[in-house]
Structure 1
Amino acid sequence: MVRSPALPRPGALPGPRLIGAAALALALALVPVPVTAQDIAPVGDPIEVAITTGPLLPEEVLRSSALTFPSILEAFEREAAARSDQLAADGAFDLMLKGEYYDRLTGFYSGGFGKVEARQPLRPYGAEVYGSYRVSNGDFPTYENYNYTNALGEAKVGALFSLLRNRDIDSRRFAIEDTRLAAAQAQIDVMLVRLNVQHEALRAYWRWVAAGEEIRVFEELLEIAEARQIGLAREVGEGARARIALTENERNLLNRRARLEEAKRNFATAANSLAFYLRGSNGQMIVPTREQLPDLSRMNGIAPVDTLVANPMSEVIQSRPELTVFKVAIERANNRIALRRNDLQPSLNASVELSRDFGQLGPGGPGFDSTDTVVGLTFSVPLQRREARGRLQRAEAELRETELRQRRIADQITMELGNIIENLTAALKIADLAEAEVKQANAMVQAERTRFRLGAGEFFLVNQREEDAANAQVSAIRADLAGRLAEASYNAATMNLKALGLE
């Protein structure tokens, strides 16, 4: 027998088709729009003017590298990605809205229903609460009579609880805590990257300055030989001096020109290395020129060791970001162990549900015209639990590995910091000795030139004294460089953010 479709009665309640459609529309309307990670704020005003005009100071180099160096920007993006993972993990406890529509298009029975349900996971006890509304229409076969509702539909609320496994921790709550700690690690990693970049930028800067100072020394040395060549050529032409003196000075000229070219090559290499950290606001590398070399006499000297080493060594070591990373890593490992121990427990879940139909009795009869309260328990346990035990053992081994690596890194930091202090102390002493040597060498040059003018000295000794004085100046420059590098390393090791341009 073929039934004709029933027309809706005036004033009748909406049928299951309308209920289902409305539920689906509401569910779609509440779906959140995808959220994209926010971009890092602009780095500020262009800095090309500061790093391309006038003397180039270390503060300007540090500002440039802190704002534009790719590794730092990469670290910020990794942190943003970690924050996004944290947001995604929080989504495990999002409110879920579900719409359902069921109807028969053909056949003897005409039963159908529409249903809308909301579920909210909760963190305590791994619980979940839910509520639903369902309304049916038409006739259902006996084996589907549970779909009947009264005329105004059925309202239902309920809750699920975990009493053993998943009571204190489960994969969702673990993911939330783990991504929070991962975001904290990413934030610490940003600081580590910034410290390393600023440290290397400062070292590149002082190498560039030292290379420029060495060029100045060899240019002065070459100018002396060139001026002397003119005088010697005149004296040889007048017969006042043997030609061998002119030949010897020509050899000195070649030697000094070669040393100057080597110094220029070293300066060009140092300038290119500094350009790796010296960038404009668009990220393009800017190669500094000799005209930008600073006047060292106007710059601050290296601070005394006693002034630098003000805090106790233990406090400095404990504040290192690497050890903070390990503390977070150990906390993450302990959380994973807790999760694996949770997997060993049997599953015991409780449920409670309350439902009530409203309105006139439906085709289901009086059995649906009551308030029903239902409770339940489910229990399950793997008898061997080999998978859970294996995962727990792995998590415990990873924790021990992390603790041992933490101890090794702490010892390594202690050793490196001690070496930095020793290098800095020695560099300052060597710099003082080098300055004294420069004074002595210059005095010897003046004395030998005086003897030569008076006819008591030899031209070979004059050249030798000048070479010795130049070498002493180069040694003093390199000793000062060693002190600057050691100071930069100490500031990085002790997280002196102000000295590294991070405050």
Structure 2
Amino acid sequence: MGLVLLLGGVAVGAPGKGGGGKAKGGVVVVKEGKAEKAAKAGPVVKAGEMRVAERKVAPLLLDEVLAAVMKRYPPWLAALIEQDIATGRLRQTLGAFDPSVSAKLGLQRGYYGAESGEAMVEQALPFWGGSVYGGYRLSGGLLPNYSKERTQEDGEFTAGARLNLLRDGAIDRRRASVQQARIDVELADPFILRQYLDFVRAAARAYWNWVASGMRLRISEEILRVAEERDVLLAAQIAEGLVAPIVRTDNRQLVLSRSIEVVRAQRRLEAAAIELSLFLRSEDDAPVVVSRERVPDGFPAAVAPDEKRTTVDLLNASVRRPELRRIQLTMDKLVVDERLARNNLLPNLDIGVSAAREFGDQPYKDIDRTELQAGIELKIPLGRNEAKGRLETINAQMERLRREAQFARDRITAEVRDASSALVAAWSLIGQNRSNVELAAELEKAEWYRFEEGASDMLAVQLREQRTFEARLSEVESVADYFRAVAEYRASVAADAPAAVRSEK
């Protein structure tokens, strides 16, 4: 027949009549590298069937996306603010130990006429629920003997201290609030880490979806171009009377169906680019819808997973994952609450000492120049239902947290095993899909030879082309599934956790 058509972008004809090129289906991949770096390495291209235009811009790599997440992703920056919030609350609770200054003025008229005033400074102590104080008092005029505001003409300096020996001794509400606020500062770390792992996983999935969509579009455009170039050849052969017009009509219908597939692939790439723009941001924090030209020419290395390493990663995940750390810190807060509740069961046994120094000899004769006082007070609560009820509540909350911790361990184990299983399956599918592409391309080429020998027709050839096209798309998805599985696995074992917010402390 002398028919020369295009198969997958390679001219194929009868032996000795040009062509004879071997079609190589499949997605472009690189040689094997280290598993941990596979998801972030740059693509290396080998000769394949897809025609890739000369690149004018650098391809977008996963490292660039993750760097943008760390620097400019708004939910990540919002998560970091949690640390500032907790630090601010800690400082707020420390305010309970700030020194206080008080002043008082008094005026009395009637049988006794006098004026009095005092200024005092008090500092709460961080132990034994105590405080120390000191100040100056001064009165003028004449006050009755029973008045505690009396001073000599030059005033009185006074100082003292108060301590709680039982209730509010070892702990009180102020110190409990400070201890819990310090724990809240630590609790910010597992919260931030959980957010980070989720954001990195989501960004990686969005990136690989975008890469796969770009490669699907290239394959769709390639097979469309094959049908369009064949249409030109068929038009010339119809003019020479070598091919029936209905053959070209069938091919034109094929061009139309493949054009529809290209539109769908374009829309899929645009949607993936828009989703990726949530993570990829410019210097002014605006989302960047990355252009098609930055789609890599191929995937990075796909490395066989090491199933033996899963056991080690499983042990590390229990330490690195933030869930158990969060539960443990929450239990630590309840321990503080428990100590406070037990404190409230105790009676009050408070002691106080004070000293006063008078200056001047007038107008009172019965005031000693120096006075020392000491006192003790005992107060016993009767019902104590509030403290007992609080202890019952705390015990129930602790039991609930222990159950949550048990389930968290089980869930971490299940997630790591499931992610490992998905990774192994994805790796297996890559090899099977690659073989499927090679077989489909071989059958397609054989169908062309049969067609040239008159043993087949164009419909059979087109079906073989479609099978090869579908096999190539399936291979792209299988490789993308592998790298999405890598992202899931790394998130499940907290492999990418920043050292600053790791839970292993």
8 Å Cα contact 1:148/1:363 also seen in 2: no
8 Å Cα contact 2:193/2:501 also seen in 1: no
Query: What is the letter of the counterpart of residue 249 of structure 1?
Result: N
Tell me the SS of whatever aligns to 1:147.
coil
Query: What is the letter of the counterpart of residue 169 of structure 2?
Result: R
1:282 equivalent in alignment to 2:281: no
Task: Tell me which of 129, 140, 143 is aligned to 1:140.
Answer: 143
Corresponding residue for 1:318?
319
Residues in 2 aligned to 1:183 and 1:98: alpha-carbon distance in whole angstroms? 33
CA deviation string 1:473-499 (max 9, x = no partner): 111111111110111111222222289
Corresponding residue for 1:350?
351
Task: Tell me which of 118, 123, 128 is aligned to 2:126.
Answer: 123
Residues in 2 aligned to 1:75 and 1:502: alpha-carbon distance in whole angstroms? 12
Cα drift, residue 174 of structure 1: 0.7
Q: TM-score, normalised by structure 1?
A: 0.84
8 Å Cα contact 2:313/2:493 also seen in 1: no
Corresponding residue for 1:79?
83
Across the aligned residues of Structure 1 and Structure 2, the Cα RMSD in angstroms comes to: 2.3
Query: What is the letter of the counterpart of residue 271 of structure 2?
Result: T
Cα drift, residue 153 of structure 1: 2.1
8 Å Cα contact 1:169/1:338 also seen in 2: yes
Query: What is the letter of the counterpart of residue 70 of structure 1?
Result: P
Cα drift, residue 87 of structure 1: 0.3
Does the C-alpha gap of structure 1 residues 501 and 355 become closer, same or farther in structure 2, counting only changes over 3 Å? Answer: closer
8 Å Cα contact 1:492/1:500 also seen in 2: no
Tell me the SS of whatever aligns to 1:135.
strand
8 Å Cα contact 2:317/2:412 also seen in 1: no
8 Å Cα contact 1:491/1:500 also seen in 2: no
1:420 equivalent in alignment to 2:423: no
Query: What is the letter of the counterpart of residue 351 of structure 1?
Result: G
Tell me the SS of whatever aligns to 1:125.
coil
Query: What is the letter of the counterpart of residue 126 of structure 1?
Result: G
Flag structure 2 segments of 5+ consecutive residues without an equivalent. Answer: 1-55
8 Å Cα contact 2:334/2:394 also seen in 1: yes
Query: What is the letter of the counterpart of residue 119 of structure 1?
Result: E
Corresponding residue for 2:35?
none
CA deviation string 1:349-408 (max 9, x = no partner): 1212222213x213222x322432222222223322222222221122122112211211
Query: What is the letter of the counterpart of residue 100 of structure 1?
Result: K
Tell me the SS of whatever aligns to 1:240.
coil
Corresponding residue for 1:5?
none
Residues in 2 aligned to 1:156 and 1:165: alpha-carbon distance in whole angstroms? 27
8 Å Cα contact 2:305/2:423 also seen in 1: no
Residues in 1 aligned to 2:313 and 2:210: alpha-carbon distance in whole angstroms? 33
Corresponding residue for 2:9?
none
Moved more, 282-291 or 147-156: 147-156
Task: Tell me which of 112, 115, 120 is aligned to 2:115.
Answer: 112
Corresponding residue for 1:215?
217
Residues in 1 aligned to 2:318 and 2:153: alpha-carbon distance in whole angstroms? 73
Does the C-alpha gap of structure 1 residues 381 and 58 become closer, same or farther in structure 2, counting only changes over 3 Å? Answer: same
Q: Say which structure is richer in helix.
A: 1
Tell me the SS of whatever aligns to 1:383.
coil
Corresponding residue for 1:339?
340
1:327 equivalent in alignment to 2:331: no
1:65 equivalent in alignment to 2:69: yes
Tell me the SS of whatever aligns to 1:129.
strand
**Bigger relative contact order (CA 8 A; separation at least 6):** 2
Residues in 1 aligned to 2:276 and 2:311: alpha-carbon distance in whole angstroms? 31
Cα drift, residue 143 of structure 1: 4.6
Query: What is the letter of the counterpart of residue 451 of structure 2?
Result: F
Residues in 2 aligned to 1:400 and 1:157: alpha-carbon distance in whole angstroms? 48
Q: May I ask how many residue pairs the two structures share in their alignment? A: 447
Corresponding residue for 1:170?
172
Q: How does 1:256-271 map to 2 (within 5 A)?
A: 256-271=258-273
Residues in 2 aligned to 1:303 and 1:177: alpha-carbon distance in whole angstroms? 49
Cα drift, residue 501 of structure 1: 13
1:362 equivalent in alignment to 2:362: yes
Residues in 2 aligned to 1:376 and 1:418: alpha-carbon distance in whole angstroms? 67
8 Å Cα contact 2:274/2:289 also seen in 1: yes
1:241 equivalent in alignment to 2:243: yes
Tell me the SS of whatever aligns to 1:137.
strand
Q: TM-score, normalised by structure 2?
A: 0.83
Corresponding residue for 1:91?
95
Does the C-alpha gap of structure 1 residues 135 and 302 become closer, same or farther in structure 2, counting only changes over 3 Å? Answer: farther
Residues in 2 aligned to 1:306 and 1:391: alpha-carbon distance in whole angstroms? 49
Tell me the SS of whatever aligns to 1:169.
coil
Q: How does 1:19-58 map to 2 (within 5 A)?
A: 54-58=58-62
Q: How does 1:195-214 map to 2 (within 5 A)?
A: 195-214=197-216
Residues in 1 aligned to 2:389 and 2:275: alpha-carbon distance in whole angstroms? 50
Does the C-alpha gap of structure 1 residues 427 and 502 become closer, same or farther in structure 2, counting only changes over 3 Å? Answer: farther
